[in-house]
Structure 1
Amino acid sequence: MVSSEARSAPASTPRKVAILDATIGTLSRNLPAILAGLGLVVLWQVVIWIFKIPTFMAPSPADVVLAFRDNAATLWRNFLPTLLEATLGFLFGNLVAILLAVWFVHSTTAEKAFYPIAVFIKAIPIIALAPILVLIFGNGLAPKIIIAGLICFFPTLVNMVQGLRAASPAMLDLMRVLSATNSEILWKVRFPSSLPFLFAALKIAATSSVMGAIVAEWIGSSFGLGALIIEATYNFRSPLLYATVVIAALLAVVLFALVSVVEAKVVRWKPAGSH
């Protein structure tokens, strides 16, 4: 008799080959970026050596790596609050923006009344708005989520309104001839047509939410990556400062990548002229 391992081997081998091919393909597509990044790190190290720059001013890449090792627990402890704030802000800001966009598309009066208010709020620098929210809501989680959400809100609102209105006029006319309700038109025509616009905004919001959470932590917090950046700066702990900034950047990149993966699974068409 043929063992179960032998029977499963032919099936698993093509799967492993496909995964390997996909990995190699991804690396080859991103090879220029990888090489450029490594080149910048090497250049950074060489500049530190040549000009003998003090560590408290600008640490070397080796110093930053050591900071990751020596402060792993501190970085992790401050990473989790920022991750929570950025994620909740991302969800909150985009949900409100999507709901408002749907309302605006179905009510011209609502758009005329509230769209200028959204523009006005966007015009206020977030660094100026953050202290106001901290005074109102305190130093807890709420103001940080609101600030992260506000940064995500406006790009998604603008793109979602445009996307909902990008539906084919012929399809809209057909749905009306078939006596479709506004809800049916929204879910079967408008919403699918808006997905490329929505995901374009969500990718911006994914990175912006991290920035919003960090700015909120600068204003009033004793924990989080933003608070750790302030602490490391005032104590001249440059390696820890750089390590914290790298963690924040990696978080933004991971959130961007997650949105891109979801987009690849969901979006089946692209607007004309996009790549």
Structure 2
Amino acid sequence: MTLATAISQNETVADAEEGFRQAQRRILLRRRLLPFVGVATFLGVWAALVYLFKVPPFVAPSPLLVAQTLVSKGDVLLANLVPTAIEALSGFLLGNLVAIVIATAFVHKKTLEETFFPTVVLINTIPVVAKAPILVLLLGNGMEPKIAIAALICFFPTLVNMVRGLEAVNPQAMELMRVLSASKREVFFKLRLYNSLPYLFSALKISASTSVVGAIVGEWIGSNVGIGALIIQATYSFDSALLYATVIVASCFSMLFFLSVTMLERRLVRWQPSNAH
């Protein structure tokens, strides 16, 4: 190989790498830019409809009025967000922890799964608005029923996904563990749990949003503070700007919670099993 040929090949490789990097940058820019375009379009259409149809502010406020409310009543919104966030986070942790423990028991004791899983499904079919008053009567009017409601909403998706993840083990890997005389504890922590993480995080991302919904629904039933209580107050006082602002704050918190779980997943789960969806 001549020197000129080697230089030409190196330049070709360098050009290809540079082209690949530019393509990656364009894709990243596109992914970051398009959501902002979508939000800006939505706000523009919203403002135009309110202006063109002259919608009264107590029916549907303009985006500008909602933004002004977010600024002027930011302290009230944040003060009410704190209890809702505590209830959602506590329910998220409690519901998912109990689901993981029960899923582990179901996988190791099939009799337990066959006995109690139909009961779990039955409880899950009860609407959350029907569970909430019962829990308020049982647990009082404090944070406890809100945490319980958030936990119940988180529980079922995590249980189903965790059972599936713990059972979806490669038969060859399981056979290898048996050949190596691995104990049930070793099989669980070194194979089953490792394999279940993608399934678990799929459920956790769902729970991150639904736990906030559960906490808010609990506050609707009986509470003087929190995002749910503020929504009720704004609705009955026809303060639609505050109502929209409250919904936006709750949505932003839910989104941040979801993104936090997603970032944790990217740090812990750097693989995906072939049968995971």
TM-score, structure 2 normalization: 0.89
The superposition leaves residues 40-82 of structure 1 with CA deviations (integer Å, 9 ceiling, x where unpaired) of 1011001111111000000000000111111111101100000
Partner of 1:71: 73
How far is the alpha carbon of 1:272 from its aligned partner? 2.5
How far is the alpha carbon of 1:274 from its aligned partner? 6.1
Aligned-pair identity (%): 50
How far is the alpha carbon of 1:23 from its aligned partner? 10
What amino acid is aligned across from residue 141 of structure 2 in structure 1?
A: N
Partner of 1:184: 186
Unaligned runs of 5+ in 1: 1-21
| C-alpha separation in 2, matches of 1:24 and 1:95 | 41
Runs of 4+ with deviation above 4 angstroms:
22-27
| C-alpha separation in 1, matches of 2:240 and 2:205 | 30
- CA change 1:188–1:211 in 2 (3 A) is same
- From 259, 262, 267, give the equivalent of 1:260: 262
| C-alpha separation in 2, matches of 1:131 and 1:23 | 52
- From 138, 141, 152, give the equivalent of 2:140: 138
1:233 and 2:238 are equivalent in the alignment? no
| C-alpha separation in 2, matches of 1:45 and 1:190 | 52
Count of matched residue pairs:
254
| C-alpha separation in 2, matches of 1:155 and 1:62 | 38
Contact 2:46–2:63 under 8 Å retained in 1: yes
Contact 2:198–2:276 under 8 Å retained in 1: no
Contact 2:198–2:272 under 8 Å retained in 1: yes
Partner of 2:114: 112
What amino acid is aligned across from residue 50 of structure 1 in structure 2?
A: L
| C-alpha separation in 2, matches of 1:212 and 1:181 | 39
- CA change 1:24–1:89 in 2 (3 A) is farther
What amino acid is aligned across from residue 229 of structure 1 in structure 2?
A: I
1:30 and 2:36 are equivalent in the alignment? no
1:46 and 2:48 are equivalent in the alignment? yes
How far is the alpha carbon of 1:32 from its aligned partner? 1.6
Partner of 1:88: 90
The superposition leaves residues 150-174 of structure 1 with CA deviations (integer Å, 9 ceiling, x where unpaired) of 0000000000000001111111111
The superposition leaves residues 109-166 of structure 1 with CA deviations (integer Å, 9 ceiling, x where unpaired) of 1101111111011000000000000000001111110100100000000000000011
Contact 2:199–2:276 under 8 Å retained in 1: no
SS where residue 107 of structure 2 aligns? helix
Partner of 2:169: 167
SS where residue 222 of structure 1 aligns? coil
How far is the alpha carbon of 1:27 from its aligned partner? 4.8
| C-alpha separation in 1, matches of 2:203 and 2:44 | 34
| C-alpha separation in 2, matches of 1:149 and 1:26 | 36
| Residues 208-219 of structure 1 aligned to structure 2 (within 5 Å) | 208-219=210-221
Task: Kindly report the root-mean-square deviation, in angstroms, between the aligned alpha carbons of the 2 structures.
Answer: 1.6
TM-score, structure 1 normalization: 0.89
| C-alpha separation in 1, matches of 2:178 and 2:257 | 39
Unaligned runs of 5+ in 2: 1-23
- CA change 1:215–1:27 in 2 (3 A) is farther
| C-alpha separation in 1, matches of 2:38 and 2:31 | 13
The superposition leaves residues 221-245 of structure 1 with CA deviations (integer Å, 9 ceiling, x where unpaired) of 0000000000000000000000000
SS where residue 54 of structure 1 aligns? coil
What amino acid is aligned across from residue 269 of structure 1 in structure 2?
A: W
What amino acid is aligned across from residue 142 of structure 1 in structure 2?
A: E
How far is the alpha carbon of 1:26 from its aligned partner? 5.1
